[in-house]
Amino acid sequence: MKLALWSYEAPAHVGASKASASLSGVHTVLRAPKGDGYATIMLAMFERLGTVPPLSICALTEATLAGAAADIPAHLVDLERRRSPEVIFVTRSGTAAVLQEPLDGEIAMMPPGTVRAEIIEGEMHPIRDTESSAFDVTLRQLVRTWAKDMPKSARPSVNILGPSLLGFHDHANVRSMRVLLGAVGIDVNVVAPLGASKADIARIGAAWANISLAHELTERTTTYLRERFGTPTIQALPYGEAGTTRFLRELCGLLEIDAAVIAEAARASQLMWYARTVDAHALSHKRVGIFGSPTTAAGIARVLAEELDMKIAFVGTYVTERETWLRDRVGDLTDDVFATSDFRDVSARIDRTRPDMMFGSQMERHASSQFGVPCAVISPPVHILNFPLGYQPFVGYDGANHLADLVNTTQVLGLEHHLIEMFGPRNQGQFADAMPERHDDVPVLAGVGAAASSDAPAAASDALVWAPSGESLIARVPFFVRKKARGNIEKYAREFGITTIDERVVISAREHLGG
């Protein structure tokens, strides 16, 4: 088992809980020590439910471990008395599995009729599965359990799969998809698991097609639906204006709907109009790095490259088993497509490539700030601030507008140049002494009296030396942009094989970079 300070994916029981607790009429019971029950707090805080989340913990205690009588039956009886759920979904954490705490034996001891609710024991493996795979295993299990054979709906309809409580902008994404599908005359059969009831899942086979908003969370489920009901899944990703149009063309072609209806629906997007403006021209050829969940990373990479003419430095994901899927989607945009679950690998890549902008999770936002690279959060893991109260979808034509805003507000337009002109050199102007220079915060390189960054390649660090005349010029840059300016100059020096950065190199780099 690999331990890390930060982890992109939560343990398996969180993925299973997200899937089951998102359903209507279902209460999830987690068998675990008290410390493993933080998903309950996340549901209450992040989703702002305003009520007790449909998730509780049957805690392991010293008495339980010492061989006391099983307490799962008592917990289920009390839960039904207090909440009267239609279904109780029971799972356990990795800690409980390590302690060999069984579920089936305790539940089997309960006399028939003790609890009126349907009891389902989760199939996910609490140690082998990840958060993503456990979500998918759980969703497939519930679909397999409840889905009934029935004819296809009279009108063209689709299932929207993947949205959940604690999902990234999932409420807004579902709303955007409903608007989009309504504009072309397609009904929504079931949204699952977010808000779906047992009765909703029962009719999931009536849909003509499936739409996955997160392929890494639904692959097992969509495969099962294809095998049992013959329901195909749309492969195009509905990100950006062009991407959403491709998505609708595939969907309309599959459902035999006249594609002429797409043109009217596309009027909702202003992304392509924005791409032709002077403001968007500043984005052209800017280098960007992207890291996050595979579906979102792939969709946004295509928007940035195809619609905003940006250069993709790298695209990565923390769902390691989806690396091939991601490469198939974006391999034509960049040679650097990778998967890693170690945030330090991503931080080192940002340091090495120094993109103009970064799109990632909260971890990349923190890592990028060290190197003066602006970062937009486009993927979990996230902060509570990434659960907006307003309407901010990422998919569909409405999502294209939000993406344009996100890129526009994240970019830095000639920041070094404009701020230096505004505030003047160091020790001039009212802000000059706002903060003293701290060389220990700046990733200086070998030869200037400080250790090189452990994340930077050793060979590159050893090859660069800052001369006193170069240090004198860089010291005149305002403190709040000095780190980025230093990184850009070092990048320029490496490009042209320069080993000593003096005053002449700093000036040449500034002219080369347009600042």
Bridging pattern class, strands 157-161 and 26-32: unpaired
pLDDT of residue 515: 53
Q: What is the pLDDT of residues 22-36, one digit of tens each?
A: 999 999 999 887 777
What is the C-alpha to C-alpha distance for residues 26 and 16, in angstroms, rounded to an integer? Answer: 13
Spatial contact of 121 and 90, defined as CB atoms under 8 Å apart: yes
Spatial contact of 170 and 295, defined as CB atoms under 8 Å apart: no
pLDDT of residue 62: 56
Spatial contact of 245 and 180, defined as CB atoms under 8 Å apart: no
Question: Hey, is 318 helix, strand or coil?
Answer: coil
pLDDT of residue 413: 53
The rounded Cα 349 to chain-centroid distance in angstroms is 18
The CA–CA distances, whole Å, from 444 to 329, 349, 376 equal 37, 17, 26
Rounded mean pLDDT of 14-18? 93
Higher-confidence residue of 254 and 484: namely 254
Higher-confidence residue of 110 and 224: namely 224
Rounded mean pLDDT of 267-291? 87
Q: What is the pLDDT of residues 184-196, one digit of tens each?
A: 999 999 999 999 9
What is the C-alpha to C-alpha distance for residues 361 and 6, in angstroms, rounded to an integer? Answer: 12
Spatial contact of 180 and 248, defined as CB atoms under 8 Å apart: yes
Catalytic (active site) residue 342: no
Asked if residue 227 has pLDDT above 70, the reply is yes
What is the C-alpha to C-alpha distance for residues 210 and 423, in angstroms, rounded to an integer? Answer: 56
Bridging pattern class, strands 337-339 and 357-360: unpaired
Which of 74-78, 210-214, 272-276, 439-443 ranks highest by mean pLDDT? 210-214
The CA–CA distances, whole Å, from 442 to 416, 450, 452 equal 16, 9, 10
Rounded mean pLDDT of 395-421? 76
CA-closest candidate to residue 367, choices 391, 397, 346, 392: 346
What is the C-alpha to C-alpha distance for residues 244 and 262, in angstroms, rounded to an integer? Answer: 10
Q: Which residue has the tokens 């109780």?
A: 88
Asked if residue 206 has pLDDT above 90, the reply is yes
Q: What is the pLDDT of residues 294-350, one digit of tens each?
A: 999 999 999 999 999 999 999 999 999 999 999 999 999 999 999 999 999 999 999
What is the C-alpha to C-alpha distance for residues 374 and 366, in angstroms, rounded to an integer? Answer: 10
Token pair for residue 3? 């331990």
pLDDT of residue 481: 74
DSSP for 367-404? HHHHTT--EEE-SSS--GGGS-SS---SSHHHHHHHHH
* 423, 421, 359, 308 alpha-carbon torsion, rounded to 10°: 150
Tell me, what amino acid is at 435? Answer: M
CA-closest candidate to residue 238, choices 250, 247, 228, 227: 247
What is the C-alpha to C-alpha distance for residues 217 and 204, in angstroms, rounded to an integer? Answer: 17
Across all residues in the chain, what is the average pLDDT?
Answer: 85
What is the C-alpha to C-alpha distance for residues 58 and 43, in angstroms, rounded to an integer? Answer: 17
Q: What is the pLDDT of residues 462-497, one digit of tens each?
A: 568 999 988 888 887 776 678 888 888 998 898 888
The rounded Cα 90 to chain-centroid distance in angstroms is 27
What is the C-alpha to C-alpha distance for residues 188 and 318, in angstroms, rounded to an integer? Answer: 31
Going by pLDDT thresholds of 50, 70 and 90, the confidence category of residue 70 is low
Catalytic residue among 78, 279, 328, 462: 279
Going by pLDDT thresholds of 50, 70 and 90, the confidence category of residue 51 is confident
Rg of the chain over all Cα atoms, to the nearest angstrom: 26
Spatial contact of 127 and 98, defined as CB atoms under 8 Å apart: yes
Asked if residue 4 has pLDDT above 60, the reply is no
Q: What is the pLDDT of residues 341-399, one digit of tens each?
A: 999 999 999 999 999 999 999 999 999 988 889 999 999 998 888 888 889 999 999 99
Going by pLDDT thresholds of 50, 70 and 90, the confidence category of residue 95 is confident
pTM: 0.79
pLDDT of residue 453: 35
Q: Which residues contact 365 (CB under 8 A, 6 or more apart)?
A: 358, 375, 377
pLDDT of residue 285: 84
